[in-house]
Structure 1
Amino acid sequence: MTSSLLLRNGTVIDTDPVPTVLAGADVLVEDGRIAAVGPGLPAPADAEVVDATGRIVMPGFVDTHRHTWQAGIRAILTDATLPAYLERVLGELAPRYRPDDVYTGTLAGALECLDSGITTLVDWSHIQLSPGHTDASIEALRASGIRAVFGYCHGGDGDLEAETRRVHREYFGAPAGTLSMAMAALGPEIAREDRVLAEWRLARDLGLPVTVHMGGHGPESAARGLAFLAGNGLMEHPTTYVHANHYTDEALKRIAAAGGTVSVAPTIEAALDIGPPPTGRARNAGVPTGLGADTVASGPGDMFSIMRAAYLLERGRPNLSFGTADVLRTATIEGAEAAGLADVTGSLTPGKQADLLVLRTGTLGVAAAHDPIAAVVLSADTRNVDTVLVGGRVVKRGGELLERDVPSLLDSLSASAARLAGR
């Protein structure tokens, strides 16, 4: 990687404080960070200059909730509901996973993210059946080159506290580059009270944010779970509420006041009948709201599909005040807030990590678009993702992932998928 890279004369979209288009502008990257944005920037002597004329340059997408290990069971459970998912995927398939299946699935899932323009990922990893499964998950994320928050959800027969502390000590005790850790808590709507209290206590002691499935199991469960957190003084801890579908507007305001965030998986929440996605309601309540793919077992894995689902489900409610610029914020800077990385990524603010996308516009599906923001949200797809940078490092160029033997990985994924499905 050269120390400087200048993306010259692109249609630049920034996302903070609001999505804004700057035509004919440059983005300068130095030492992995965004150094400057504007027209006619001088090129440093050592800079690689990339002509972005006719292309869109923007922050990378942020996926705030994905079970990345499930890449090997893609489309295995469509036209189903949440109880069927719990029975089939978590009850039947997950116990079949070996550490090598976890590694292959997580690596393939993370590369799928990069290929489609997702540069930051919250990996909600509940396949931690043994220390070997955990080690495989982390090594795969590291090998992929993506910026990731590893959401550790303890499973198996070991000790929750001892194993969580081991993972933190061995992998995250010192700055770990593009990887960080979160407590992926089962939470009060799923687990016993003693486990919940242990999860939040560990998160506090280790300085980890919490990401938890709460609000998606019906109104009574949502109210009861939030009351438990409030009653035990846990709401003020940095927490992302995943599938906040059944919270009332007042409950969402309480989450906002406590500094919480929300992750919405609009395709999965609609497909599995979890409930109407709360994207607009959460944002109206003042909650930073990100988007996630959740599971490719039952839905798509690219942010373009997810953004369109979020937009259409809100507009069909109807929430006509929710527009394409709002969607783009949820897929970028608000997603970074939900991931706890708003000071690192999600916008083109100088000083942030250079997590960037260059999108082709010379395709039949995007050509002649009059509004670049709407084109990204409503018209583009993975074919338009030409170049991807993570921390200034080019991981995709000319539409191809770099430094990856993708065919061999796909062969391994296919073999893993066949074994897991019993074929």
Structure 2
Amino acid sequence: MKTLLTAGTVISLDPTIGDLDRGDVLIENGVITDVAHRIDSTDAEVIDATGRIVMPGFVDNHRHTWQTAFRGLGADWTFPEWAAALHHTLKPHYQPEDVYLGTLIGRLEALHSGVTTMLDWFHCASGPAHADAAVAALRDAPGRSIFCYGAGWGTSDRIDTEARRVRSALPADELVTMALGLRGAEDTSIDTVAEELKLAAELGVRTSVHIASDGTNRPIADLYEHGLLRDTTTFVHANGIGDDELRMLADAGSSISISPDVELKMGFGWPMTGRALAAGLRPTLSIDDTPSVGGDMFSTMRTAYAVQRGLDGTLNSHDLLEFATLDAARSCGLDARTGSITPGKGADLILLRADDPTMFPVNHPAGTIVSAGHPGLVDTVLVAGRVVKRDGVLTGVDLTALRHRLLESRDRIAAAAGVRLDGSWRPQPQPH
């Protein structure tokens, strides 16, 4: 099966191809086979990309989709309030069906806004059925997804058996794969971190961990001193760690995921974008959670860009596109499959409306996307060559039925937890 995208403005994110003012992309059996100014193919389905920008789909390497039903509820919360609300008040009332609906609609939201690859950092496992529900939802959403099974946050202290069970059901060559969410050195013992890294290596999966510092602790240095930094680990947030610790991560080949909107509004500190670059790290970008912030990569890029430009005037718009595509794909171990428009990679592509009044005229494509882009521009989305959104509408999805089910789920959980949904409820942080 062949598909030919014709006459679009191509932002390839591949340095050997560059950007094409007018370009074609040929796809065969889900894989990009050619990128050129003009391609002749008489036996391909043609998608006219005139008036569209063709670029790689976004890669979000850190999002908690099980929380989707409570969108906006945490807009005014601090981090301790968020933790008290989601983990201590609402999560105990989640049934597997609630996990499934939040994860499915959250993943569809990401696809709708152009996120073709997403790591779902899952920490709502009250039991095996909850994890299975999240995996089922990711499989039912037609995206490239990574189920990151998170230790801690109320899961059992030892997840060896469960992690092995889930890994056996998620081969590495499918659209839905697995990662392991670690407890950091701040949350558990060094011995436990070592055990979880050993488990991940045995399972052949990458790892992700939330980490930060208030200036009184040195979590990265602790891991370094015990030989526990890996090139397969992504450190999420990392606000407040020292410049020397950032260099330790760079030397180890580790990745850093920045969630700028959450970090700024919840009081984590300044996003580490510029400091990471100065240390030799390529930052990546993530959403984190939609009860607190918007779920699209356009606003995430814009926040990261504006903050760093305000701090030191560095960065350009092309940097931000790389952070949100190829660099993030590399952090997930998927840069050979996705993240750029490169022959041999999977056709994970998005077409943005360049004729939309909020974008037109597009003089500098990368600059226009970063400064003015929004989800309403996402006209077409392909994952592994399959069209999952066409003419602005997700294909094969009954959103009306799903919305009804999610509202029922939300209302049941809120009632059981005694939570008001009008924004007047402020959770009480848990004592340390």
**TM-score interval, smaller chain:** over 0.9
Cα offset for 1:337? 1.2
* Equivalent residue number for residue 291 of structure 2: 297
Distance 1:284 1:30 in 2: 40
Matched, 1:335 2:331: no
Partner secondary structure for residue 267 of structure 2: coil
Distance 1:228 1:315 in 2: 32
* Equivalent residue number for residue 137 of structure 1: 134
Match of 2:245 among 236, 244, 251: 251
Partner secondary structure for residue 327 of structure 1: helix
Alignment of 1:20-35 (within 5 A): 20-35=18-33
Match of 2:228 among 234, 242, 248: 234
* Equivalent residue number for residue 87 of structure 2: 90
Contact 1:43–1:49 (CA<8 Å) still a contact in 2? no
**Aligned-pair identity (%):** 42
* Equivalent residue number for residue 183 of structure 1: 180
Distance 1:312 1:193 in 2: 37
Contact 1:269–1:277 (CA<8 Å) still a contact in 2? yes
Distance 1:193 1:182 in 2: 20
* Equivalent residue number for residue 420 of structure 1: 413
Matched, 1:384 2:381: no
Alignment of 1:14-413 (within 5 A): 14-17=12-15, 20-45=18-43, 47-154=44-151, 155-157=154-156, 159-169=158-168, 171-172=169-170, 174-214=171-211, 216-221=212-217, 223=218, 225-317=219-311, 319-413=312-406
Between stretches 160-169 and 258-267, larger displacement belongs to: 160-169
Q: 1:82 corresponds to which letter in structure 2?
A: F
Runs (4+) of structure 1 moved beyond 6 Å? none
Partner secondary structure for residue 321 of structure 1: coil
* Equivalent residue number for residue 427 of structure 2: none
Contact 1:33–1:350 (CA<8 Å) still a contact in 2? yes
Partner secondary structure for residue 234 of structure 1: coil
* Equivalent residue number for residue 429 of structure 2: none
RMSD (Å) for aligned C-alpha atoms: 1.5
Distance 2:16 2:413 in 1: 44
Between stretches 117-126 and 76-85, larger displacement belongs to: 76-85
Distance 2:42 2:349 in 1: 19
Distance 2:362 2:158 in 1: 55
Distance 2:323 2:301 in 1: 8
Residues 1:25 and 1:237: Cα distance change in structure 2 (over 3 Å): closer
Partner secondary structure for residue 235 of structure 2: strand
> What TM-score do the two structures reach when normalised by structure 1?
0.95
Partner secondary structure for residue 123 of structure 2: strand
* Equivalent residue number for residue 10 of structure 2: 12
Distance 1:18 1:190 in 2: 44
Cα offset for 1:135? 0.2
Contact 2:172–2:178 (CA<8 Å) still a contact in 1? no
Cα offset for 1:81? 1.3
Distance 1:19 1:412 in 2: 45
Could you list the runs of 5+ residues in structure 2 that have no partner in the other structure?
A: 421-432
Distance 1:236 1:159 in 2: 21
Contact 1:292–1:306 (CA<8 Å) still a contact in 2? yes
Cα offset for 1:19? 9.6
Contact 2:213–2:241 (CA<8 Å) still a contact in 1? no
Q: 2:137 corresponds to which letter in structure 1?
A: A
